[in-house]
Structure 1
């Protein structure tokens, strides 16, 4: 029984251009980006 091969072993990561924060979760990424614009 053959398992499908995955071309990319690593998950997609979202990296904050402002501070380098990294998360695999898109929702968490956007929530993080907002703090830079809100000013926290």
Structure 2
């Protein structure tokens, strides 16, 4: 079970650029009107 937790925590850690891309996609998906 400890190995599972370690793998999951590694998956959560993403490079900053990837985070920014996912974040902007999330905002557009939630708020299609905001086009920034």
Q: Flag the structure with higher strand content.
A: 1
Bin for the TM-score computed over the shorter chain: 0.3 to 0.5
Q: Decide which structure has greater helix share.
A: 2
Q: Tell me the TM-score normalized by structure 2.
A: 0.40
Computing the radius of gyration from Cα coordinates, the structure with the larger value is: 1
Structure of greater relative contact order (alpha carbons < 8 Å, 6+ residues apart): 1
